[in-house]
Amino acid sequence: MELSLIRSLMDKGFYDDHRGARCPDRLFSKDVRKIKHTIDTAMERYERTVTPAEVEALFMSNNAQLTTAQKNAYSSLFNQVKKESPMGGDVAQEVLSKLFQQVVGEDIANIGFEMVNGSMYNLEPIRNILEQYGDDFTPDLNIEWDDMDIETLLAKNDLEAQWTFNIPTLTRKIEGVNEGHLIEIGARPNTGKTSFHASLVAGPNGFAQQGAKCIVLCNEEGTHRVGARYLTSATGMTMQEVKSNPSKARDIYQHISDNIKVKDATGRDMAWVESICKSYKPDVVILDMGDKFARTQGFARADEALKANAIHARQIAKQHECAIFYMSQLSADAENKVVLNQAMMEGSRTGKAAEADLMILIAKNPPVEGQEEEDTQRHLNVVKNKLSGWHGIVHCELNYKTARYEV
């Protein structure tokens, strides 16, 4: 079938009707794919129908390094192509359907293999494949173009933030975030990353109080520990105070609790995150920790996997119209430092940072010998900012007992 298709692609009209996604390289075997590349070159260069003999001559001239045995093998392949007749449109559609059927089947089988081995945890990748193809297995190329009328452009480019930060020193520099934004938050262990997102979401005038549907996906700490921080941040009460007066805490928390959903995400990947966003349609998503959603299979280096993970997170934010907060560890280079930079991101110095719309790195003061009480001052290093353009450090205080970032 593939040789008949190759012969047909030498016709300029047929080639123009089936170029690109309608007839991709992956439909062909390795050797035939090289002939397809030569046809692509001929069509770009000559812009006319070409004969099998012309394609063969061009192929041989472009591959002069082939051994005699390899040249003989390709000559035999071209002789087979010359025996084929160009296909009509109806026959071509049937042939393409059969070839795409093999491709789709291989993709689904590979995903099935990963499921059997326990490295795939949801059906989202299969759903994505099925969405790309029609019932005849050929690509669904019916594109629904994005709305570009003036009202839509004004709405999508509103200078006001949809969800505003509730830390005054930060808000004066960056008002807040909108749908489609990827916000990367980095800090060393025990600096207050979880308290930071708990304060932004559940604290006074936080995202939940503003009406945002927020989901918190945790693969670092247990959900009950994270939930406790959200409770204290929302109520301003310590856990001991909540225990002493649960009805008061309940009365305060119930006003925003419907807007906050927390789920354990241990062992899950970014495809699972996408399926959650697709079904729940949140406004704000917290990934704690973002890096632990990365799949490492198929990557030669860990930083490549983390970059791909951040790219996927950004795609989810855009496609599902939500703001994603990607919590991350900082490397030992950030230990005991107040001024931080992008290169201190653990595992990926540049890859993750390239995807962020906003990057905030949290620092605390170096320990002082003889100091008994934990230092509460926090320094928010805005090291990347595509939202307002401002870069620098803002200062605030972390109330450990209530998990609130305050001024």
The DSSP bridge partners found for residue 285 are: 215, 324
Confidence (pTM): 0.71
Residue 112: C-alpha distances to residues 99, 115, 120, 125, 339 (Å): 20, 5, 8, 10, 47
260-264 β-sheet, strand order:
260-264, 214-218, 284-288, 323-329, 182-187, 358-364, 377-385, 392-399, 404-406
Is-contact 155 369, C-beta < 8 A? no
Q: Which CATH number fits domain 154-406: 3.30.1360.10, 3.40.50.300, 3.40.50.2000, 3.30.420.10?
A: 3.40.50.300
Please give the average per-residue pLDDT across 54-74, as a whole number: 93
pLDDT tens digits, residue range 305-336? 899 999 999 999 999 999 999 999 999 999 99
Cβ of 245: how many Cβ atoms within 10 Å? 13
Q: How far apart are CA 130 and CA 300, in angstroms?
A: 28
Domain extent listing, the chain: 2-132, 154-406
pLDDT tens digits, residue range 372-402? 778 899 999 999 999 889 999 999 999 999 9
pLDDT tens digits, residue range 91-104? 888 888 888 888 88
pLDDT tens digits, residue range 256-305? 999 999 999 998 889 889 989 988 999 999 999 999 999 887 788 888 88
Is-contact 357 387, C-beta < 8 A? yes
Q: Is the pLDDT of residue 159 over 70?
A: no
Q: Per-residue confidence at 156, pLDDT binned at 50, 70, 90? A: low
Q: How far apart are CA 92 and CA 5, in angstroms?
A: 7
Q: Is the pLDDT of residue 355 over 70?
A: yes
Q: What angle is formed at CA 299 by the lines to CA 296 and CA 305, rounded to 5 degrees? A: 55
Choose among 361, 353, 357: nearest CA to 386. 357
Sequence-distant (6+) residues with CB within 8 A of 167 are 199, 200, 380, 394, 396, 405, 406, 407
CATH topology of domain 2-132: DNAb Helicase; Chain A (1.10.860)
Query: How many residues are there in the chain?
Result: 407
